[in-house]
Every structure is written in structure tokens, then in C-alpha cells.
Structure 1
Amino acid sequence: MEVLNSIANLLKNVREKSPLVHHITNYVTVNDCANITLAIGASPIMADDKKEVEQMVSLVSALVINIGTLNERTIESMVLAGKKANERGIPVILDPVGIGATTLRTDTVRTLINNIKFSVIKGNMSEIKLVAGEKVEIKGVDSAASEEGAVQIAKDLSKQLNCVIAITGAKDIITDGDRVLYAQNGHKLLGRVTGTGCMTASLIGSYCGANKDYLMATAAAVITMGIAGEKSMESLKDGEGIGSFKVRLFDNVFNLTTDEIKERGKVRYE
């Protein structure tokens, strides 16, 4: 399929260019995010002090902002880093983890969107609906929202914010407001391991840092994590569980080939 050939070429670009990706991210998963960035062939930087984030952003190819573990200090750093990234014209990715769970999270996402032009916003159905201003029942950081109308919500939000919107779930939806990609790789065990969503945002930053078509770059990242999840599950032996699964995610991202993307990728393009 032509779209899978294009996505496979994006993987080549990441490994040839090895983009530097700056993260201001969730301290629960920061090490995982750094390692998955290395696994795909990019290089991570994890810096969140306001005294250095602007200088750090001046050196990198992409910025990933994740609100998983918020505090007032890092909120200020996120705004400073995002504005500097916009000045430089490099992609900024937002992962609005747990938006709606508290007023702080919701207000922070509003502040970020009002001050920063994002290239990609990635979240589950609940998170994207809340970013779009809809009322949603909250269940921690997991999605409890109906997927009814998901495509139209994503397309409308994409046009409103002029960025790629990615809704992750059993069927991933990625859109730039006009084009829509549906990806169906993955395994339910990905939802049993802390950090797979955060790591997906890091993969998006890695692909966007090396490729200018952010819709296709986001799709490539989502499919990469999905294929790695499938292969990790397939390799488990009796008595092995989520610990072995998580370790193999890194191995399978590291060893992912363009041929595997073409052979295993499950994607539909509209």
C-alpha cells in the first residue's frame, strides 16, 4: 500500500537524521521516553528548568510537552520552551495526560494552547474531547468517553487549532482536518504498561523532528508502537508478563525495519 511505503521511508529519515528531541515530560515515565527515543534512532534531551529550556530548544529538532506530572515550575518552563520552538519553526507535540481530572490540568492545557502553536496533539478519546471543550466523565488518566463522533471531533479540532490531532485507542484516528488515517496495529497489553502513551508521544516527536509531513509522521509513530506491541506479545513465553513485554517493546522498536512496516502495518487512508 502506498501509505505504508511512505511511512516506511519516514523511519529511514529518523535513523539517518537522528533528530534531537527535547522533552518536558512526566517524571513517572521520563526514562522510558528517553529510551524509546533512542530505540527509534533519535536522541533525547530531558530538561525542564526555566533557566535553560529556551537555550535547549535552540539546539533541537522537536519539542514534546507532556502534562502527566504537573507543577507550577514546569508549567512556566513549558510555555517558555513552546514559544521558543515556535520562533524556530520546529514541531511541538502536546500530550494532555489526564486533562479534566483536576482544574490545574485543564487550565494548564488552555494556557499552553493559548500561548503555543502545536504541530500535534495526541491523546485518548476523553482527552481529545476535553481539549475540544466537550464534557466527559473522567476515570483517572484512562479514557471513559464514547467514541461516537470521534472523527468529526478530531477534524474540527484540527482545523480550529491548525494542527494534527491523534486519538489513540483500539482504532487510532489521525487527522490534519482534511486527510484522515485509521491505524489498527497494537495489542490490549499496551494499556497494562505504564508509559506506552508517553512513549508514543516521544516517537511522534522523533518522527516529526525528521519529517515535515506531521500527519504521516504521527501515523508512523502510532504504527511503530502498535507493531512493537504486537511483536512483544507474540514473543511472550509461559510465565512471562508485562515486565518482559515492556522490555521487548524497546527491542522491537529498535529492531523495526521498513519491510515490517510494509508487511504488518494496518492503516486505512481517507
Structure 2
Amino acid sequence: MTATPQSIWNDVEQIRSQSPLVQSITNFVVMNNTANALLALGASPAMVHAEEEVADFVTIASALVVNIGTLDQNFVAGMRQAVHVARNLGKPIVFDPVGVGATPYRNQISRELLDLAPPTVIRGNASEIMALAGLNARTKGVDSVHGSSAALDSALQLNAELGSVVVVSGAEDYIVSADQVATVANGHPMMTKVTGMGCTATALIGAFVAVNTNSFQAAVHSMAVMGLAGELAARRSPGPGSLQLNFLDALYQLTAQDVAAHLKLGQL
């Protein structure tokens, strides 16, 4: 196993000490949530999407996160420009194909972005990963109608096609590379009642790939921290409203002891 409680904690300490700038071209629904999650973890968010300035931010960012949740022409123009510059500069790119498979336009933009630059990491739910791999999976808006294990073959296919680490999130997360599949079983069902938790996971991956050049390990670390924070937050949350607040506190207060005591990591 390439990830351990100590390796996870090493990355958390690096994020807290370096405060890497994570440029997030994300959707209107989650901008505040994901920016606050990055800050709570210790990273520095830049929610910049205008075509006129994305290139300038990519040059100073440590990682680029692209999330297609609320597409329009201006967002897409900024995404294309940012991905192009990140590819040329060798900056890590994290891609979240929110709702892919739901509409032809969403499918088209996803394929354009993948063709422009293979992402360092792709994260989606099972339906999104299956649709992205071309298996015509059914989606229900941005919600998955499949369990995460159902998308394992699709994740392997995407990895073979693009070389990207592929993360399938769900009750159990699967992190897939060419020669390794890790599982993370941390988290809590109440997390599905808070909008944008998947998008938050993608943003956190951006922070971890900013400090760890082993993209598979970084993806495992980020999903572990995401699940741990959600699990710890749920213990003191009577409902999803308080969970959202307590999740940020759990990220901010996370300790090495929390990781060592509660980590549920496996390997296929």
C-alpha cells in the first residue's frame, strides 16, 4: 500500500505549511463550500474563471481544478484557456465531470477538455465515470444511480486511455491507477444530504496534488481526509445543516491521531 496514516499526515502538514494556491474553475452552487474547505485544510483557493485572467492565475497556481457543474459559454472559454496553459506549464489538473451523461452539451465539453489535456486526476461518482468512459450510464442529474464498485471497469478504461488517476466516489471510494486500486471506506451517509460534497472532494484533491507529485498517493490521501472529516463531523451533527459547518471544523482540527485511529484504507 502506497498510502499510510503517516504519509497522509505528511501531506496534510505540507498543505498547512505551504498553503498551495489551488485555482478552481467550479460551479456556482459550491464556490463558497469548496473555497472554505480548501482554507480549512490549509490551502489557498482562487475561484477564478474569466477567460481574460485564468492564464495569469494558472502561472502562479500550484494546481488547477476544473468542475463542469454549471456550464455556460464564458465558463467553458475559461476552462479551455486554463487547461491549455496548465498543460503547457506541466501543472497538475483535476477534472470533475459533474453530470456528464445527462446532456449532449455536457458530454461534448467533457470530451473537448479531455482531448485538450489528460487530467492528472479525474473524480466523479459511478454514473459519471461510467458515462465518461463511454458506457452510456444512466444519470439522474448530478446524482449517481450506480454504486461505486459498478464503475471500476470504467475507471480502469479511463486510466488506460488517458493515464489519469481515476477516483470513483461513493459509500466506498475507489482510486484507480495503472497498477493499483485503493479503497477508502471512511465517510458518513449524511454527507449525501449536503450539496457539493463531491465537488469539495475534487477541490481537496487539488490541494494534495499540489504538494505530492505521486498523483495516485495524493488522490488516496485526499479521499481519506475527506471521508475522515465527514465521519468525525457526523458524530456531532444532528442533521445536514450542522454537518456542513462541522465538516469545515473537522478539516481544520484534524490530527495525526484522528488519521491513525479512524482510517479505513484497503487495496484490491
Show the counterpart of 1:262.
260
Which residue identity lines up with residue 220 of structure 1 in the other structure? H
Q: How far did 1:258 drift?
A: 2.0
Q: How far did 1:117 drift?
A: 2.4
Q: How far did 1:3 drift?
A: 2.2
Q: After superposition, give the CA deviation of every residue in 1:45-69 in whole Å (9 maximum; x if it has no partner).
A: 0111101000110011000000000
Given that 1:4 and 1:261 are in contact with CA atoms closer than 8 Å, whether structure 2 keeps it comes out as yes
Given that 1:13 and 1:210 are in contact with CA atoms closer than 8 Å, whether structure 2 keeps it comes out as yes
Q: How far did 1:95 drift?
A: 0.5
Q: How far did 1:5 drift?
A: 2.1
Show the counterpart of 2:120.
119
Q: Distance in 2 between matches of 1:52 and 1:132?
A: 32
Secondary structure of the equivalent of 1:170? coil
Q: Is there any run of 5+ residues in structure 2 with no aligned partner, and where?
A: none
Cα pair distance change 1:190/1:148, threshold 3 Å? closer
Cα pair distance change 1:228/1:107, threshold 3 Å? same
Show the counterpart of 1:162.
163
The list of structure 1 runs, each at least 4 consecutive aligned residues, that deviate by more than 4 angstroms after superposition, is 146-149
Q: After superposition, give the CA deviation of every residue in 1:40-90 in whole Å (9 maximum; x if it has no partner).
A: 100000111101000110011000000000001111110110111111111
Show the counterpart of 1:243.
241
Q: Distance in 1 between matches of 2:64 and 2:173?
A: 22
Secondary structure of the equivalent of 1:98? coil
Q: Which has the higher contact order (CA 8 A, sep 6+)?
A: 1
Q: Distance in 2 between matches of 1:235 and 1:59?
A: 38
Given that 2:93 and 2:119 are in contact with CA atoms closer than 8 Å, whether structure 1 keeps it comes out as yes
Q: Distance in 1 between matches of 2:175 and 2:41?
A: 20
Show the counterpart of 1:80.
81
Q: Is there any run of 5+ residues in structure 1 with no aligned partner, and where?
A: none
Given that 2:8 and 2:221 are in contact with CA atoms closer than 8 Å, whether structure 1 keeps it comes out as yes
Show the counterpart of 1:138.
139
Which residue identity lines up with residue 209 of structure 2 in the other structure? C
Show the counterpart of 1:40.
41
Please report the RMSD computed on the Cα atoms of aligned residues, expressed in angstroms. 1.4
Show the counterpart of 1:184.
185
Which residue identity lines up with residue 218 of structure 1 in the other structure? A
Q: Do residues 71 (structure 1) and 72 (structure 2) align?
A: yes
Given that 1:3 and 1:269 are in contact with CA atoms closer than 8 Å, whether structure 2 keeps it comes out as no
Show the counterpart of 2:104.
103
> What is the number of equivalent residue pairs in this alignment?
267
Which residue identity lines up with residue 254 of structure 2 in the other structure? L
Secondary structure of the equivalent of 2:33? helix
Q: Distance in 2 between matches of 1:82 and 1:150?
A: 26
Q: Distance in 1 between matches of 2:174 and 2:72?
A: 30
Q: How far did 1:151 drift?
A: 2.6
Report the more deviating stretch, 22-31 or 254-263. 254-263
Show the counterpart of 1:94.
95
> Identity over aligned residues, as a percent?
37
Q: How far did 1:145 drift?
A: 2.7
Given that 1:11 and 1:258 are in contact with CA atoms closer than 8 Å, whether structure 2 keeps it comes out as no
Show the counterpart of 1:30.
31
Q: TM-score, normalised by structure 2?
A: 0.96
Given that 1:155 and 1:176 are in contact with CA atoms closer than 8 Å, whether structure 2 keeps it comes out as yes
Q: How far did 1:259 drift?
A: 2.2
Q: Distance in 1 between matches of 2:148 and 2:193?
A: 20
Given that 1:119 and 1:164 are in contact with CA atoms closer than 8 Å, whether structure 2 keeps it comes out as yes
Q: How far did 1:157 drift?
A: 1.3
